[in-house]
């Protein structure tokens, strides 16, 4: 998998022709500790006042290739500052170095001892690759080395480059799956991509491709896929990935990923241009697969992870499922459909039931659903991931530990609670059904619109009958840059949050 790999470099040497530039990221010129580099930036700033406050390229004999890119973070001492200052500074630098023809830069990050910035250098590296990444279709149709010219990044900070490269490999898988068009990453091709990405690794991959088996074993999931059954290239898949590290297992995780490769809204059709960008409704599946890729490359001990992706296309047509249908879930729960555009929770419910069955003998297992689930999450918490936890997860402080890890890795989250109103919202209205999937209003204008779907998932999957910790992870606001679901680059959230919590 091609990307700019991290390489440890013990010391700065301007004459080392392995590197053709140096990128310096610091809060201010005075924060640059290397005398030679600080002098070069200070001298340039006396001529050009912009250098002190914005990212610029400085021509100097003090830098390899005579190119020094200084990108200031600005203030870091305020309570609301966080490591994304370094992420943003690295992004600015990346755009500049690519335009300048740099292919092999050194990276030097100056961060003070504040714990918030303990992963600043790693975050900067990941930000460079995030910015340099180009969509899979572009790499397949153009010359990859030309559109992604960076080959390696020298790390002058003391970091674990093996771990860092595995992290970027996982993030790249997540970006590829999320950011690829609905034909190139239709369910069968999404499954193929996962098989290929994890081929020869310690992650076992199993794919259910039989539509009859899916209809029987994943009835809610298949209802979403029903209108696509007649189109073979759009047929649903369930992809199960399993990793079990050596030694005593300290963490056992079960991850359910929503992989809606295109969401038309179904019979409750998306209108007014809201269908654009719905090929990214597979961001949860993308993140789950990315995390498994990271496990495959790192092979950590003491952790077991089972991840399952429900890959479907929510199509329209004569076979489309409709509101008012009552469909019995894998867990035996009779679900009345409230709106066919609330399809992700149906896909996830059956997947979670299967994961519960697989986890029957796993003590202390933790469960997660990862999805671009609700517009409400994006409206309520903006560019942050929304975490909604059940009672046991809350007693274990699960979401707050995830959030704390995300803060260090520029993959932040906001924590929400599951409450009684959420369960009341989905309670049955008749004796004909056990639960209502959703209301008819857009989630973005529904009170507790990103919390109540978690209650539905608990009940429809049968998780309420098990004493397990469960956290729902909604990335509708964090899954792409700038909230631009049609054009924004996928962020790979919450890969780094999970990695920071369980693999660091």
Domain boundaries, the chain: 5-159, 169-502
User: Which of 116, 270, 417, 489 is an active site residue?
Assistant: 270
Burial 260-271 (b: 16+ CB within 10 A, else e): bbbbbbbbbebe
Give me the long-range contacts of 143-150 (CB less than 8 A, separation at least 24): 144/2, 145/2, 148/2, 148/3, 148/4, 149/98, 149/101, 149/103, 150/3, 150/4, 150/97, 150/98, 150/102, 150/103, 150/104, 150/105
Structure tokens at 257: 């990923």
> What is the distance between the alpha carbons of residues 169 and 154, in angstroms, rounded to a whole number?
17
Q: Domain 169-502 maps to which CATH number in 3.40.190.10, 3.40.630.10, 2.40.50.140, 3.40.50.720?
A: 3.40.630.10
Q: How far apart are CA 298 and CA 362, in angstroms?
A: 23
Nearest to 154 by CA among 11, 1, 41: 11
| Domain 5-159: top CATH class | alpha beta
Q: CB–CB of 49/133 below 8 Å?
A: no
Q: What angle do CA 149, 119, 176 make, to 5 degrees?
A: 40
Does residue 270 carry a catalytic annotation? Answer: yes
User: Cα(153)–Cα(4) distance, rounded to whole angstroms?
Assistant: 6
pLDDT in tens, the chain (504 residues): 689 999 999 998 888 999 999 999 999 999 999 999 999 999 999 999 999 999 999 999 999 999 999 999 999 999 999 999 999 999 999 999 999 999 999 999 999 899 999 999 999 999 999 999 999 999 999 999 999 999 999 999 999 999 999 999 999 999 999 999 999 999 999 999 999 999 999 999 999 999 999 999 999 999 999 999 999 999 999 999 999 999 999 999 999 999 999 999 999 999 999 999 999 999 999 999 999 999 999 999 999 999 999 999 999 999 999 999 999 999 999 999 999 999 999 999 999 999 999 998 787 899 999 999 999 999 999 999 999 999 999 999 999 999 999 999 999 999 999 999 999 999 999 999 999 999 988 777 899 999 999 999 999 999 999 999 999 999 999 999 999 999 999 999 999 999 999 998
- Other beta carbons within 10 angstroms of residue 272's beta carbon come to 5
Question: Which member of 38, 258, 280, 345 is catalytic?
Answer: 345
5-159 and 169-502 in the same fold: no
């Amino acid at each position: 998998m091609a990307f700019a790999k991290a390489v440890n470099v013990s010391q700065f040497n301007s004459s080392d022709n392995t590197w053709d530039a140096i990128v310096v990221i610091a809060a201010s010129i005075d924060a640059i500790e290397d005398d030679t580099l600080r002098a070069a930036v200070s001298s340039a700033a006396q001529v050009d006042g912009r250098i002190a406050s914005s990212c610029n390229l400085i021509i100097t004999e003090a830098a390899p290739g005579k190119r020094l890119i200084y990108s200031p973070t600005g203030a870091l001492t305020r309570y609301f500052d966080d490591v994304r200052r370094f992420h943003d500074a690295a992004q600015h630098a990346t755009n500049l170095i690519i335009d300048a023809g740099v292919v092999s830069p050194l990276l030097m990050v100056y961060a003070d001892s504040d714990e918030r910035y303990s992963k600043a250098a790693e975050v900067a590296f990941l930000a460079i690759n995030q910015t340099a990444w180009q969509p899979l279709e572009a790499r397949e149709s153009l010359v990859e080395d030309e559109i992604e010219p960076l080959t390696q990044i020298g790390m002058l900070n003391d970091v674990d480059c093996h771990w860092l490269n595995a992290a970027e490999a996982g993030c790249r898988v997540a970006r590829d799956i999320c950011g690829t068009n609905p034909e190139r990453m239709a369910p069968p091709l999404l499954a193929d991509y996962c098989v290929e990405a994890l081929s020869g690794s310690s992650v076992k991959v199993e794919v259910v491709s039989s539509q009859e088996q899916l209809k029987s074993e994943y009835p809610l999931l298949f209802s979403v896929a029903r209108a696509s059954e007649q189109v073979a290239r759009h047929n649903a898949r369930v992809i199960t990935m399993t990793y079990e590290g050596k030694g005593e297992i300290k963490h056992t995780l079960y991850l359910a990923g929503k992989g809606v490769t295109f969401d038309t809204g179904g019979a409750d059709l998306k209108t007014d241009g809201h269908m654009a960008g719905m090929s990214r409704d597979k961001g949860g599946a993308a993140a789950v697969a990315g995390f498994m890729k990271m496990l495959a490359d790192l092979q950590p001990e003491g952790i077991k992870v089972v991840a399952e992706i429900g890959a479907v296309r929510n199509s329209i047509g004569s076979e489309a499922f409709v509101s008012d249908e009552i469909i019995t879930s894998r867990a035996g729960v009779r679900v009345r459909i409230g709106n066919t555009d609330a399809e992700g929770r149906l896909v996830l419910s059956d997947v979670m039931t299967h994961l519960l069955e697989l986890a029957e003998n796993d003590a202390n297992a933790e469960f997660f659903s990862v999805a671009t689930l609700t517009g409400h999450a994006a409206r309520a918490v903006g560019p942050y991931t929304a975490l909604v936890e059940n009672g046991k997860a809350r007693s274990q402080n699960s979401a707050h530990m995830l959030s704390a890890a995300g803060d260090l890795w520029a993959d932040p989250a906001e924590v929400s609670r599951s409450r009684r109103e959420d369960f009341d919202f989905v309670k049955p209205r008749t004796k004909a059904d056990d639960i209502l999937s959703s209301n008819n209003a857009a989630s973005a204008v529904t009170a507790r619109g990103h919390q109540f779907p978690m209650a539905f998932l608990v009940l429809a999957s049968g998780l309420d009958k098990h004493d397990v910790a469960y956290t729902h992870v909604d990335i509708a606001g964090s899954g792409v840059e700038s909230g631009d679901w049609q054009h924004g680059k996928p962020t790979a959230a919450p890969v780094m949050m999970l990695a920071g919590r369980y693999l660091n």
